[in-house]
Amino acid sequence: MDYVEAADARKLDGMRLALTINVCGPWSESAKYILQVKDIPFVPVAQYGGGENPDLVDWTGHGNAPVAVWENEPPRTGWAEILDQAERLAPTPSLAPKDPALRAQVFGISNEICGEWGFGWCRRIMLFPPVEAPEDIGGDSMKMLRARYGRTTNPYDDAPGRVVQILDYLRDILEAQKAAGSPYMVGDSLTAADIYWAAFSQMLVPMPEDKNPITGPMRDAYGNIGPVVQASAHPILIEHRDMIFDRHLSLPLDFMDSREA
C-alpha cells in the first residue's frame, strides 16, 4: 500500500482514508473495501497503531483509524458514518438498502460485527494482556490501546462469551438465508454486512498468507481464539467469507507499507 503521511494528505483533494499501516485491522480493511466496491478513489493515509499520530490528530482531531476525509467535509471515523458517506458519494452499487426493514437488518448485523462490544471489539479485548497483568507488558503502546479501547473497564472473561453469542447469531442468519435461496446476509445481493464480516472474520480464522500477509505474533494472536470461541467458529461463517472475497473483494489484503519494501 502506497501510504501518504497525514501532513501531506491534508493538502490533497478528494477522499483521504487513514489506515493502520502493516496491520490487518478490520475496521480499516472494511472501510477500504466499502470505497473500493463503490469505485471511490482514495489516498491511503498512514496511521501508526499504538502511536500518538500528532499530524493526523492536528488535521482530523483523531489519532486512530480509520478516518475518512472527503474534500473539506468533517472527518468520519465510525463504521456507520463512513458507510453513510460512501452511500451518498456513490449511490450505486448500494450497500445499505433503501427499504427500511432491510436497511435495519444491515445496520443491526453490522453493529454486532463492528460496534462497541461487538465481535471485533471483543476479539480485540481478547488480544490484550489481562487487566491484572503487569503494567509493563506490551509497553507504552499497549497501555495506550488498553485505555483507548476499554480494556481497563471491560472484564476479560466476558469477551469470549460475547464473541460466541455473535458468531452463533451470524450462523443462524446465514443458515436462514441459505434456506431462502440467498448466499448473502441480507436480501439477495451484497451489502455492507457481508463486507464487514469478510474483513472481521480475519480475527477468527485468518486467510492463508498468500491472501492475508499477516505473519508472526499477529497471525498467532488472530488465530488463537481459544476453545470457547473455537466451538462457534462455524464452517458456514468461513464459507461465506471466502465466497464474498471470491465474488466481490480483491486479494491479497493490502495493508503492508510499500515504502518499507
The answer to whether residues 95 and 86 touch, using CB atoms and an 8 Å cutoff, is yes
Handedness of CA 151, 154, 155, 157 (dihedral sign): negative
The answer to whether residues 8 and 43 touch, using CB atoms and an 8 Å cutoff, is no
Characterize the bridge pairing of strands 15-20 and 42-47: parallel
- Take residue 166 and report the three cell numbers written for it: 455473535
The pLDDT of residue 138: 45
Query: Which tens digits make up the pLDDT trace of 12-28?
Result: 999 999 999 999 999 99
Query: Which tens digits make up the pLDDT trace of 71-108?
Result: 999 999 999 999 999 999 999 999 999 999 999 999 99
The pLDDT of residue 99: 96
Averaged pLDDT in 10-residue chunks for the chain of 261 residues: 98 98 97 99 97 98 98 98 98 97 98 97 84 47 51 66 98 99 98 99 98 94 94 98 99 94 63
CA distances from 94 to 34, 97, 162 (A): 10, 6, 30
Amino acid at 195: I
The answer to whether residues 206 and 222 touch, using CB atoms and an 8 Å cutoff, is yes
**0.95 surpassed by pTM:** no
List the domains of the chain with CATH numbers: 6-93 (3.40.30.10), 100-248 (1.20.1050)
- Take residue 134 and report the three cell numbers written for it: 503487569
Rg of the chain, C-alpha, whole Å: 18
The pLDDT of residue 157: 72
